[in-house]
Amino acid sequence: MWSWVAHRVTGVLIFFFLFVHVLDTALVRVSPEDYDKVVATYKTPIVACLEYGLVAAILFHALNGLRVIAVDFWSKGPRYQKQMFWTVMGVWIVLMVGAIYPVLGHAARVLFGS
């Protein structure tokens, strides 16, 4: 049940991110100076944390989507869906731990110095 809810929520969050991304990229044609100001705000530690959340949402949505495909198209999928869910969670946690430094490294250097 919760994986179903999380899959829908992450899908909606990813959709809104893509919508905002298209809007801010389109701003470059309207006003390059304003575009530069918007992009400058993306280099803050708060936005780095939001980017980490985006990575979390995309990874969970992708991995859970593969689990949903397996449940739908593999004849034994419904029988093993709980084990597949915990496998997805394990892989997601490992990948999220691996993403800490690449995504949040710059923010940590800004906040705490090099």
- Annotated binding site for heme: which residue ranges? 61
Instruction: Give whole-number Cα distances, 50 to 14, 56, 67, 87, 102, in Å.
Output: 12, 10, 25, 25, 14
Where is the binding site, in residues? 61
Alpha-carbon radius of gyration of the chain: 18
In this structure, which amino acid lies at residue 59?
Answer: L
∠ CA 86-104-93 to the nearest 5 degrees?
5
Burial class (CB in 10 A: 0-12, 13-18, 19+), 106: middle
